[in-house]
Amino acid sequence: MLEHDRWDRDLIAQVHPPDWTNPLPAAKYDLVVIGAGTGGLVTAAGAAGLGARVALIERHLMGGDCLNVGCVPSKALISAARAWATARRASGEHAGPPLGIDAQGDFAAMMDRMRRIRAGLSPIDSASRFRELGVDVFLGDGKFTDASTITVGGATLTFRRAVIATGARAAVPTIPGLDTVRYFTNESIFDITELPARLLIVGAGPIGCELAQCFARFGAQVTIVDKGERPLPRDDVDASRIVQEALVADGVTFALGVDIAGVSQLGREIVVRTTRAGAETAHACDALLIATGRAANVEGLQLERAKVAFSDKGVTVNDRLQTSNANVYAVGDVCSVLQFTHAADFQARMVIQNALFFGRGKSSNLVTPWATYTSPEVAQVGHTAASAALAGVQVQTFTVPLHDVDRARLEGDTAGFCRVHVRQGSDTIVGATIVAPNAGDMISEITLAMTNGLGLGAIGRTMHPYPTHGEVLRKVADSWRRTKLTPFVKRLFTRYFSLFR
């Protein structure tokens, strides 16, 4: 991270104070946590709040990816991009001045705003706050020396239990010539202050799609290159199509189903060569963003000394998040397939119980939603139709297009749908996809139902305010309820009513 201005200096003063002095270690800790991202912070704060003696180790910036290079800066970027897009749409629909809004915006000012907000949020994750919570905070590289001790900055910490929460970093693929050009990842793209005229993004996953739409709305010419045939491959295929159409409408160009033959510098521009079916295409750009996934941070921890099993996919854990060393657990991106801030949060809460109180919580019981914050947003929980089929789960699927929701039509945002999968012959929800302007908020109602064993019928019995986008959930439930009215049942009702005529 570059120190551009006072905001970056304020941030670093909170999350990695240059004058920080590590405390003298206690004789023995109930819990030592390595990594101060979301998973580590929640684990440390929760355990200390319950009276445990806790040490927290961080080698870089407290707050981890979410605060520094992930959720916080990216959502600030998305917020500005949406505002600019709304202003441009308004200026195109109305004669005269565009509602007093500058539809072009100021990229440098937006980046300054992002850094200001990020710095303002940093005290929540700061070293001083966690010290006040009773946590011994050590800044430096934590390394296992054996099955029950960790060293950091020359100090040795002895633990009863330990939690590895070192997260993940941007995965950079092996591409010929990539090491000869300057490229960005999500860990560096937020340091820029000037909008690149042409941005090429390698990767059509959530990060690639979110940032592609943002930069296109800011005015950059954006191209997404990916070996897959569609963006957001883990999501519902119809959701993927709608997102692709939305990005294309914002000016994004896709080159899908291609392999990257190489990258080279040609004067001041970067050239990315792709191949498909033997044909090669050259894509010139001014900035290159690599968004091809995440790699777990396991290097340098000396896990083998603690007899903790790991692979290139991360630390190996069982369903209770316990490693091959019974006294060591792991949470978050370093061990989880679902690499989300909220997943790390809930895993941390579970680990506190399992590690310190003989809990039996299972990570497989967590119902984990996720969202991609494009416009429209895509939110998913549980199975898609494709994953249900692969798992051998027989489902009935009910879909209501957003066009059938009055609020969506009133606001002119009808590209989307709500799709819910229930177990065949019941109203038990096994998965759902929502594509809507605020799908990330709406998916929580489905997640609540799945977590607490409430069926689709319960959602149908719940009154939803009119007019809201949330009405689409009730409409889906009504679709399911109508299947209960079989021809036989209808004949019975007909005979019943005939008795009163």
- Dist. CA 476–CA 433, nearest whole Å: 12
Partners of residue 269 on adjacent β-strands: 266
Partners of residue 124 on adjacent β-strands: none
Per residue in 369-407, pLDDT tens? 999 999 999 999 999 999 999 999 999 999 999 999 999
Same domain, 253 and 209: yes
Which of 292, 313, 342 terminates a domain? The answer is 292
For residue 486 the two structure tokens come to 């079989």
Partners of residue 369 on adjacent β-strands: 381
- Residue 494 is predicted with a pLDDT of 83
Residue 445 placed within a domain = yes
| CATH number of the domain to which 201 belongs | 3.50.50.60
Which of 251, 270, 292 terminates a domain? The answer is 292
- Dist. CA 246–CA 238, nearest whole Å: 12
The domain of 37 spans: 6-69+111-170+295-365
Same domain, 229 and 343: no
Residue 212 placed within a domain = yes
Cβ-based neighbour number of residue 388 at 10 Å: 18
Residue 97 placed within a domain = no
- Place 100 in a pLDDT band, splitting at 50, 70 and 90: very low
Same domain, 384 and 237: no
Same domain, 162 and 215: no
Same domain, 439 and 461: yes
Q: Are 363 and 199 in contact (CB under 8 A)?
A: no
Per residue in 163-216, pLDDT tens? 999 999 999 999 999 999 999 999 999 999 999 999 999 999 999 999 999 999
Percent of the chain, pLDDT > 90? 90
Q: Which amino acid is at 65?
A: D
Q: Are 377 and 444 in contact (CB under 8 A)?
A: no
Residue 441 placed within a domain = yes
Partners of residue 226 on adjacent β-strands: 256
Same domain, 17 and 139: yes
Residue 12 placed within a domain = yes
Same domain, 359 and 335: yes
Cβ-based neighbour number of residue 491 at 10 Å: 10
Per residue in 61-72, pLDDT tens? 999 999 999 999
Residue 1 placed within a domain = no
- Dist. CA 211–CA 217, nearest whole Å: 10
Q: Which residue has the tokens 């899908």?
A: 256
Please report how many Cα atoms fall inside a 13 Å half-sphere around the Cα of residue 477, on the Cβ side. Answer: 21
Mean pLDDT of all residues in the chain?
A: 94
Q: Are 13 and 130 in contact (CB under 8 A)?
A: no
| CATH number of the domain to which 427 belongs | 3.30.390.30
Per residue in 239-274, pLDDT tens? 999 999 999 999 999 999 999 999 999 999 999 999
Chain centroid, CA 181 distance in Å: 28
Indicate whether 2 pLDDT > 90. Answer: no
Which of 235, 264, 292 terminates a domain? The answer is 292
Indicate whether 358 pLDDT > 70. Answer: yes
Q: Which amino acid is at 215?
A: F
Q: Which amino acid is at 226?
A: D
Indicate whether 223 pLDDT > 80. Answer: yes
End-to-end CA distance of the chain: 79
- Dist. CA 239–CA 350, nearest whole Å: 32
Same domain, 327 and 456: no
**Rg (alpha carbons) of the chain, rounded to whole number:** 25
- Residue 323 is predicted with a pLDDT of 98
Q: Which amino acid is at 396?
A: Q
Angle between helices 6-15 and 107-121 (to 10 degrees): 20
Q: How many residues are there in the chain?
A: 501
- Residue 91 is predicted with a pLDDT of 67
Same domain, 450 and 356: no
Same domain, 148 and 184: no
The residues near 114 (Cβ < 8 Å, ≥ 6 apart) are 73, 76, 77, 80, 190
Per residue in 328-352, pLDDT tens? 999 999 999 999 999 999 999 999 9
Indicate whether 95 pLDDT > 70. Answer: no
Same domain, 288 and 300: no
Over residues 218-232, the mean pLDDT reads: 97
Residue 490 placed within a domain = no
- Dist. CA 164–CA 347, nearest whole Å: 12
Q: Which amino acid is at 156?
A: T
Indicate whether 309 pLDDT > 60. Answer: yes
Residue 337 placed within a domain = yes
Greater pLDDT, 498 or 201 = 201
- Dist. CA 16–CA 396, nearest whole Å: 51
Indicate whether 99 pLDDT > 60. Answer: no
- Dist. CA 159–CA 353, nearest whole Å: 17
Q: How many domains does the chain have?
A: 3
Q: Are 435 and 413 in contact (CB under 8 A)?
A: no
Q: Are 283 and 276 in contact (CB under 8 A)?
A: no
Same domain, 58 and 25: yes
